[in-house]
Amino acid sequence: MKSRAEFEKVRRQRGAALLIAIFALLLISVVAIALIVSSGTETSLASNYRTSTSAYYGSLAGLEEGRGRLLPTSLNYIPLPANPMPLTQVIYITNPVGAEIVAPDDTANPTTYPDTQYKQEFGVDVTTRIVTKYTSVSPVAGLPGPAYKWVRINAVTEKSLGNGGGGVDVNNDGDVDPFTPLFYDPANRTPGGAMSPGLVETPTPPATALQALEITSFAVLPNGSEKMLQYVVQPLVEFPNLAGQGFTAALTLAGNNVQYTGPGTNSFFINGQDQCNPAGPMVTAIGYTVTSGSDSSSGNIAAGAVPVANYLGAPLTTGPPPGPSTGSIAFLNTMNGNWLTPTGLDAVVQDITNNADSVITGPATPGSFPSGMSATHPMTIVVNGDLDLNGWHNTGYGLLLVTGTLHYDPDATWEGGVLVIGQGNFVSTKSGTGGIDGAVFIAKTRDGSGNLLANLGASSFSQTGPGGVNSNVGRGINYNSCWLKSAMGPITYKVIAFKEIPLAN
Amino acid sequence: MNVATPQRQRGFTIIELMIATGIFLVICGAMFGLLQLSQQKYSSETQLSGAFQETRLAIDQIVRDFNVSGYPARSLFSALPPDSSQYTFSPVAWSPNYAVSSCFVGTAGGGTCVTPGDFDLIVEANLGNGAGVSWIRYQLVGTTLFRAVVPKTAGADPVAATSAAGVMVPFLTNVMNNPSAAQLALIVANYPGMFPGGVPQPIFKYTCDTSAGLLSCPLAGNDGIPANIRDVDVALIVMTRQPDMQTQQLKLVELSGRGRRVNPSK
C-alpha cells in the first residue's frame, strides 16, 4: 500500500504534465488562430467587393423595372398620372422584403428607407408632392427579387439634372431652370435650321416633343451596403413629320429620282384622308422629298399615279383645309431632317431594331412572324433582308420594317406603319382584298452591296397587279392616324442619361 | 495520532533529466518549426489577399467610372453651350487631336490612338462630386497604375491636362501587365498560362458599337473610333510585394472585370 507521501509525489508529477500540456496547447492555438485570422480576412475582403457589386446590380434592376413598366404594352403597365407629368407628381415602386415597410415618402422615418435625394434635386421635400405608389412585380413565386427598396419616377428639370453640381443648361439660355419639366424633341432645329434633337425647356413644348422622365433606384443590402442609380429616359417614337408626331403622306417616297409605278386601274387607291374616327388632318397621298430641277421624282410619280381621282389627299399648302383634292402628289417640306439622310435613317433603323418585338433575318416569309400580334397588342417586327408576303392572307398589326425588298400581296392587310428603309423596294404584282391602313415610308439608304449611300437613292414603289377585287374597291393605302399611333408606340423608353448618385455612406 | 513519516526526498537522476529535457526540446523544436512555417505562410497569404483586395478595389473603381462615363452627353442638349466643359464630348476621350478628329482604337501598337490604348484610358464623366464634368485617366507607367481626376477644361487636351504635375497619383502598384523583359521571362517561367504568347497583356480591351452589333476593337473604318466604345474589359495582373517566403516563387493574382457605358456616345 502506497503511503501519503507517495501520493503527493505522483500528484506533483501530474501538475508538471498539465503545465506541459497547456504550453503545447498554447502553441497549437497560436498556429490555429493565425490560420483562422488569415482566412477570415480573405473572406471579408471578398464580401466587401461582392456587396458593392450586388447593390449596383440590385439598383440597376430597379431602374429596368421602372423603365419597362412605363411601356403601355407592359403587362404591369404604370400609367402616368397626367400627361405631361407635372413636377408635383411622383410615382414610387416599392420592393419590401417580407414584412418590412418601405415608405420613401415618409422622410421623417429613417427606418423605412426615406427618399432624401428628391429634396437635393428639387429643393422641396417629397412629402409636399402627390405620391402614387405601386408594388414591385419582381418577387416571383415567393422568391425575393433584387435588393432595391424603391424606384422613383418623376419629371425632370435642368436643375435636377445636375449631379451634385449646378444643373445642366440644356438649351444654353444661361439659366438653370428649376421649374419647367423638360421634353425631348427629336425634331428640334437650331436657329440655323440644322437638326439638333435634345431636351427642350419651354412651357409650351412643340407637337413633336415627348416628355423626358427621371427614374431613380435605391438599393440596400441586408448588411447596409447602399447604391443609388439614375436614368433619364425619353419615350422613343419614330416619325418622319417635323410638325407633329406622325407621317406627312400616306405613301412617302424619300430620295432622289424616286420611282412610282401604279396599276393604272380604278381599283387601286392611295388615300391621304384620315380614316381614323375622329379624323385628324388630311395628308398628302404620295409625298416625295427632292424637288431640284434635274430630279425626276415628281414627274415619275405623276406619270404612274393615274387615274388621278384615285389619289386623294391634301397638297401641303397653307390656308383653310381644302376638301379632298385629287391627284395629291406633293413635295414634303415638313420632314424631320433625320429621315432625309442615309445616316439619320440608319439611326432610326437601329433604334427600331434594338427595341423590336421580333428581328427576323431575310429572306423571310410571314411564317417567321411572332405569334400574339393583334389589334390590342401591336408589334414591332424587323426583317433584315427581303420579306415575301405573297400568299399571306392575314392581318398584321404594328410597325413593320423591311431593310431589303418588300414583296407585298394585296391579300395581306397591315394595320399600322410599313417602313421599307435600306434597299427601298416595294413590289406588288397581284390583286387582293387587303390593304394597308396607316402609312408607308420608303427610302433607299444602301447600295446593292449593303454599303451606306452618301445621299438617299432612288426608292421605288411598284403595284402592277390591278389592286382591289370584287367589292373591295378603295383598297390600297389608306392613311389612318389611329393605327399609326398604336404602331408607333412609344416602342421603348430610351436611356439618354445614366449616373450614379453619390451617397454619404 | 498516526502520522506517516515522510520518505526521503529523492531528486531526478541525470538520465531522467536528460531524457525529459531531450523530449521537451524535440517537442519545442517541432512546435517552433511549425510556428515559423505558419508565420511565413500567414505573411505570404496576407500579402496575397492584400494584392487581391487592392486589385478588386481598383477594378471596381475603374468599372464604376466607366459605367457612368459620358454624362451629360451632347444629345441631352437642344442647344450646346459654347463652353465644352459643360458636357461630355465623348464617353472616352482620346489623343491625339482630341475633339477635332477621331483616332482609331488599336491594340499592341496598332491603331492611331495614343489613348485609349492597352494601358491607358481617359473617360469623361460627371462623378457627382460637385466638380462638374471631369477627365478620369488610368495609365500604367512601369508597374504602377496611376489615376488622375481633373475638371474638364474647354479647349484643353485631356492627356496634357492629366499629365500636369501632381495630378496623376499612384493607384495600384506592382501591376505586371506590361513588365520588363527580365520580369516577363521570370513570370512566364513560373506561370506559363498567365501570359499567352509570352507577350505583355493589355489592361484594357475594348468592344465597339457597330451597325453589325457589338464587335471587338480594333475595327476597320469609322466603327473603331473611341466614341463607339461600349464595353471595356479590365484585366489586371498584380504581383505581391515579396515572393513566397517558403518557395521564393513569385506570387501573382489576375482579376478581370467589365465596364459598360450606358450613356449615349454623343
Structural domains of chain B, count: 1
Distance CA A309, CA A474 (A): 11
Distance CA A371, CA A45 (A): 49
- Domain annotation covers residue B12: no
**A499 and B CB contact within 8 Å:** yes
Q: Which three cell numbers stand for residue A164?
A: 451634385
Residue B166 predicted with pLDDT over 50: yes
Q: How many residues would you count in chain A?
A: 505
Q: Which of residues 99-138 of B touch A (CB under 8 A)?
A: 126-132
pLDDT value, residue A322: 46
pTM of the entire predicted model: 0.81
Domain range for B164: 36-72+83-260
- Cα(first)–Cα(last) distance of chain A, in Å? 76
Residue A474 predicted with pLDDT over 80: no
Distance CA B40, CA A174 (A): 64
pLDDT value, residue A319: 41
- Domain annotation covers residue B45: yes
Residue pair A459/A255 in contact (Cβ under 8 Å)? The answer is: yes
Residue A276 predicted with pLDDT over 90: no
Q: For a pLDDT cut of 90, what percent of chain A falls above it?
A: 39
Q: Which three cell numbers stand for residue A64?
A: 429596368
E strand or H helix at B44, and its extent? helix B14-67
- Give the CA angle between residues A143, A149, A151 to the nearest 5°: 115
Q: With the CA atoms of B99, B101, B107 and B108 taken in that order, what torsion angle do they form, in degrees rounded to the nearest 10?
A: -100
Residue A321 predicted with pLDDT over 60: no
Cis (ω within 30 of 0) for the bond into A84? yes
What's the average model confidence in pLDDT over A123-150? 87
What's the average model confidence in pLDDT over A170-193? 88
Residue A45 predicted with pLDDT over 70: no
pLDDT value, residue A156: 94
- Give the CA angle between residues A279, A413, A388 to the nearest 5°: 140
Which has more pLDDT, A392 or A38?
A: A392
Largest CA distance in chain A: 139
Residue B39 predicted with pLDDT over 60: yes
Cβ atoms within 10 Å of B82's Cβ, excluding its own: 8
pLDDT value, residue A63: 95
- Domain annotation covers residue B266: no
**B68 and A CB contact within 8 Å:** yes
pLDDT value, residue A315: 61
pLDDT value, residue A317: 45
Distance CA B34, CA B90 (A): 58
Q: Which three cell numbers stand for residue A372?
A: 400574339
- Domain annotation covers residue B142: yes
What's the average model confidence in pLDDT over A31-48? 69
- Domain annotation covers residue B265: no
CA-nearest of A225, A226, A229 to A216 is A229
Q: Does the predicted interface ipTM exceed a cut of 0.90?
A: no
pLDDT value, residue A39: 63
The shortest C-alpha distance from A269 to chain B (Å) reads 37
CA-nearest of A275, A266, A270, A269 to A251 is A270
Q: Which three cell numbers stand for residue B17?
A: 533529466
The residue whose grid cell reads 466604345 is B229
Whether A24 sits inside 8 A of B6 (CB atoms) is: no
pLDDT value, residue B165: 87
pLDDT value, residue A43: 66
Residue B6's pLDDT band, with cuts at 50, 70 and 90, is low
Whether A42 sits inside 8 A of B71 (CB atoms) is: no
**B39 and A CB contact within 8 Å:** yes
Residue A492 predicted with pLDDT over 60: yes
CA dist A122 to A125, A126, A162, A246, A422, Å? 8, 9, 11, 34, 45
For residue B45, list chain A residues with Cβ-Cβ distance below 8 A. 38, 42
The shortest C-alpha distance from A442 to chain B (Å) reads 20
Mean pLDDT comparison of A244-253, A468-477, B61-70, B188-197, highest-scoring range: B61-70
CA-nearest of A43, A59, A63, A232 to A156 is A232
CB-CB: which of A3, A198, A499 is closest to B68? A499
Residue pair A332/A340 in contact (Cβ under 8 Å)? The answer is: no
CB-CB: which of B4, B79, B130 is closest to A171? B79
Q: Which residue of B has its CA nearest to A186?
A: B78
Mean pLDDT comparison of A315-324, B7-16, B36-45, highest-scoring range: B36-45
Residue A152's pLDDT band, with cuts at 50, 70 and 90, is very high
Largest CA distance in chain B: 117
Q: Which three cell numbers stand for residue A474?
A: 378603295
CA dihedral (B2, B8, B9, B11) positive or negative: negative
Q: Which three cell numbers stand for residue A352?
A: 427600331
CB-CB: which of B45, B75, B130 is closest to A496? B75
- Domain annotation covers residue B16: no
Q: Which three cell numbers stand for residue A414?
A: 397591315
- Domain annotation covers residue B63: yes
A238 class by beta-carbon count within 10 Å (0-12 exposed, 13-18 middle, 19+ buried) = buried
Which has more pLDDT, A78 or B3?
A: A78
pLDDT value, residue B218: 83
Residue pair A372/A392 in contact (Cβ under 8 Å)? The answer is: no
> What is the count of residue pairs from A and B with beta carbons less than 8 Å apart?
139
Which has more pLDDT, B108 or A124?
A: A124
Lowest mean pLDDT among A113-127, A134-148, B193-207: A134-148
What's the average model confidence in pLDDT over A220-225? 88
Residue A88 predicted with pLDDT over 70: yes
Q: Which of residues 258-317 of A touch B (CB under 8 A)?
A: none
As beta bridge partners, residue A406 has A387, A426
A299 class by beta-carbon count within 10 Å (0-12 exposed, 13-18 middle, 19+ buried) = exposed
For residue A49, list chain B residues with Cβ-Cβ distance below 8 A. 56-57, 60
pLDDT value, residue A318: 42
**B45 and A CB contact within 8 Å:** yes
Residue A192 predicted with pLDDT over 90: no
Can you say how many angstroms the Cα of residue B237 is from the centroid of all Cα atoms in its chain? Answer: 7
Give phi and psi for A431, each to the nearest 5. -110, 170
For residue A56, list chain B residues with Cβ-Cβ distance below 8 A. 64
pLDDT value, residue B70: 92
pLDDT value, residue B123: 94
- Domain annotation covers residue B198: yes
Residue A401's pLDDT band, with cuts at 50, 70 and 90, is very high
Give phi and psi for A302, each to the nearest 5. -60, -35
Average pLDDT taken over every residue of chain A: 85
Which has more pLDDT, B145 or B189?
A: B145
